[in-house]
Amino acid sequence: MGILKDCINNNNIDSIPIWFMRQAGRYLPEFREIRSKNPNFVELCLNPKISKEITLQPLKRFLFDAAIIFSDILLIPYALGQDLKFEKNFGPKLGNLNLENILNISDKEILEKLKPVYKLIDITSKDKILKNKDLIGFIGAPWTLLVYMVNQKSPKKTLNTDIYKNVNNKYLLEKIIYTQKLHIKNQVESGATIIQIFDSWAGLLEYKYYDKYIYNPTQELVNYVKSLNVEVICFPRGINCYKEYCDIVKPNVISIDYEVDPALIAKEINIPIQGGLDPKFLLLDKKEMLIKAKKYLETFKNHQYIFNLGHGVLPETNPENVKILVEFVKDFK
C-alpha cells in the first residue's frame, strides 16, 4: 500500500503524495524513442513488456508515489469491435459504430482482446520499483466514451452536436457500463490498487443531461469500484459544479481541472482532492512554476491532498522542470 492510499484513508503521511496524469508520454525522450519504433499506438498498448517499460519510465526519473498504467481509455471501443487507430497530428480515429455487433459481443471476446492490459498490470505490480507505491488503473467515464464512439474522433476536432439525441444511446451506454465493470474487475484482480475515472469531456454536456449521462452512470461505476475495496478517483474535466458532483457521485477522491478556483474547492469540498495545477505552468521558468505550485500546496495545507496537474503533462514540457517540481512538492512542509 502506498502513500496515496494512506492520504485517502487519512493515515499519517510525512509528505504530500504526487503523480501526474500523462506522466509517461511524449515529453520523455525515452518514451519518444520507443514510440518511434512502434508506430501503431494500439499495438503498443497491447504489448505488455513494452507498456510495462513505459509505465515505469517516469518512476525511474522522478520521485512519483504512483504509476499509472500505460494504456488508453479507447481500448474499450476497440474491445467492443469498433476499429481504432491513432493518426499522427490528428489523434484517435474510430471506425463505424455497429450497434448490433457491439450489443452482441461476448465477455469472452472482450476479455480476450484486453488480456494484454491485465498481463501488463500483473507484471508491473510485481516490479520492486512499485514496492510501497500504488499502481493506478483507469477507465474512461461512460459519457466520454460515448462521445468518442459516436463522434468517431476527438470532439476537439468537431463535435456531432446531436450526440445525446441519438436514440440508441441508452443501449450503448448500458453496454459501455457493463464492459467497464468487467474492465475494472480485471484490472483490480491483476494488481491495480486505485482506479481513476477520466471524464475528459464532461464539460461539453448541457447541464440538463447531467443525471442521465454523467451522474447516474458514473455513480454506478464508483459504487462498483468501492464494492471491490479499491479507492476511486474521479476527474470530471470542465464541469463547474464539483461540489454537487461529489455529493451525488461520491468518489473517494475528486481530481480538479485547472479552471477551478482551488480556494473555493478547499472551502466547499471535504473529501480528498487531487490535482489542479495548469500543465502550462510547467513550461514557465523554474521560479514562476514553483510560485504557481505553492499556491496549491498552501491552499490545501489542511486538506487531504494529492498533488497532480489539472490535465495531462504537455508533450513540450522539459523533464528537468518535472524533476524540480516533484522535488519541491516532496520537500514541502
Q: How far apart are CA 67 and CA 130, in angstroms?
A: 8
Contact residues for ligand CP3, defined by CB under 6 A? 21-26, 35, 41, 68, 70, 72-74, 86, 91-92, 138, 154, 198, 200, 312
Closest distance between ligand CP3 and the C-beta of residue 22, in Å? 4
For residues 78 and 296, which CB has a smaller minimum distance to ligand CP3 in the complex?
78
Residue 275 CA to its chain's centroid (Å): 12
Q: First CA to last CA across the chain, in angstroms?
A: 22
For residues 175 and 237, which CB has a smaller minimum distance to ligand CP3 in the complex?
237
Closest distance between ligand CP3 and the C-beta of residue 139, in Å? 9
- What sign for the dihedral angle of Cα 303, 307, 311, 316? positive
For residues 70 and 210, which CB has a smaller minimum distance to ligand CP3 in the complex?
70
Closest distance between ligand CP3 and the C-beta of residue 71, in Å? 6
- CB under 8 Å to 31, separation ≥6 — which residues? 24, 25, 54, 57
For residues 316 and 331, which CB has a smaller minimum distance to ligand CP3 in the complex?
316
Q: How far apart are CA 107 and CA 1, in angstroms?
A: 30
Residue with nearest beta carbon to ligand CP3: 200
For residues 85 and 226, which CB has a smaller minimum distance to ligand CP3 in the complex?
85
For residues 263 and 315, which CB has a smaller minimum distance to ligand CP3 in the complex?
315
DSSP per-residue string spanning 225-268 = HHHTT-EEEEEETT-S-HHHHHHHH--SEEEE-TTS-HHHHHHH
Closest distance between ligand CP3 and the C-beta of residue 138, in Å? 5
Closest distance between ligand CP3 and the C-beta of residue 213, in Å? 16
Count of CB atoms situated within 10 Å of the CB of 111: 17
Closest distance between ligand CP3 and the C-beta of residue 303, in Å? 23
Which of these, 215, 224, 220, lies nearest to 184 by C-alpha position?
A: 224
Q: Are β-strands 84-87 and 91-94 bridged in parallel, bridged antiparallel, or unpaired?
A: antiparallel
